[in-house]
Amino acid sequence: MNPVLLKKVLNGLARGRITVAEAMERLRHLPFQEIGHSTVDRHRALRQGYPEVIFCEGKTVQEIVQIAAHICATGENLLATRAGEEVYQKLRQQFPNAVYHRRARVVTVELRKLRKAKGFIAVVSAGTADAPVAEEAAVTAEIMGNAVRRFYDVGVAGLHRIISKLPELSRARVIVVAAGMEGALPSVVGGLVGTPVIAVPTSVGYGASFKGVAALLGMLNSCAAGVTVVNIDNGFGAGYAAALINKR
């Protein structure tokens, strides 16, 4: 229970400044405020680098702008994922410093500069087509105050590409790997480094890739320990989890 708030009420009561009825009224919503409080607490923590996020898919442009206005009023940084060109144009009208990360289909509005975490997050993609998902992860991690280094188009079909990046990769504090088709890259990376790897299957592929299922299964069955997985095309989730880990 929020001791400060509670003590204040109880002291007021003990000192006769408020009546029992008033105390009860103030405490009436405490349990949920309390949970709200821990939430607030958590939110406070979150405020130290966590953006407010809008998942734009399935929302109208108008709805998105309204939610964005609500968020920006709090002074928090905004992250709008799966945002089309039109969403960006509308947001830019209201928030002049809105930035459109076109490849990632992400709009960010950075209202206050964050102190960067010490290490860096590596974001790796297997093929060119996986880059939008990788970018969503990278931009998410950046808006949360992380340095990000990108290693794109280094898939296993040309193994020398990823091996040549190994020295730098192995200095990352957490690695996000986006890959479609057979999704083998996280296994290869995970086998080469002693770093947490977050694998993001992408829907890149055709036929028996089943829109990312083949990659997803491949990653879940990775023979390299230390690999965890997020949903297909969920670059945001990977970037977010990587940021939480890097902040540790």
Among positions 15-54, residues that touch a second copy (CB under 8 A) are 16, 19-20, 23-24, 27-32, 34-36, 38-39, 41-42, 45-46, 50, 53
By CB under 8 A, residue 7 contacts a second copy: yes
For residue 124, is it left (φ>0), alpha (ψ between -120 and 50) or beta?
A: beta
Asked if residue 61 binds a second copy (CB under 8 A), the reply is no
Q: Which residue has the tokens 């009561």?
A: 13
**What are the angstrom distances between the C-alpha of 119 and each of 122, 124, 148, 166, 247?**
10, 16, 9, 16, 9
Pairwise CA distance, residues 165 & 47, whole Å: 34
Least spacing, CB of residue 183 vs a second copy, in Å: 7
Are 207 and 136 spatial neighbours (Cβ–Cβ below 8 Å)? no
Question: Quick one: which of 89, 93, 102, 166 contacts a second copy (CB under 8 A)?
Answer: 166
Whichever of 96 and 223 has its CB closer to a second copy, that residue is 223
Answer yes or no whether residue 145 interacts with a second copy by CB under 8 A: no
Q: Please list the residues that pair with 47 across neighbouring strands.
A: none
CA nearest neighbour of 219 among 238, 242, 244? 238
* Smallest separation, CB 156 to a second copy (Å): 5
109 or 235, CB closer to a second copy? Answer: 235
59, 92, 149, 150: residue in contact with a second copy (rule CB under 8 A): 59
Does 147 interact with a second copy (rule: CB under 8 A)?
Answer: no
Q: Which of residues 66-105 bind a second copy (CB under 8 A)?
A: none
**Is 119 a binder of a second copy (CB under 8 A)?**
yes
Tell me if 210 contacts a second copy by CB under 8 A: yes
**β-strand 78-81 against 106-109: which pairing, if any?**
antiparallel
First to last CA, the chain: 25
Stretch of 69-77, 96-104, 107-115, 122-130 contacting a second copy, by CB under 8 A? 122-130
Q: Rule CB under 8 A: is residue 143 a binding residue for a second copy? A: no
Binding segment for a second copy (CB under 8 A), chosen from 88-96, 100-108, 145-153, 163-171, is: 163-171
What's the rounded Cα separation, in Å, for the pair 88 and 108?
Answer: 9
Q: How many CB atoms lie within 10 A of CB 22?
A: 13
Which tokens is 30 given? Answer: 């405490």
State whether the Cα torsion 30-34-35-40 is positive or negative: positive
Q: Using CB under 8 A, pick the residue from 72, 116, 127, 152 that binds a second copy.
A: 127
Count residues binding a second copy (CB under 8 A). Answer: 108
Nearer to a second copy, 109 or 175 (CB): 175
CA distance 201 to 190: 15
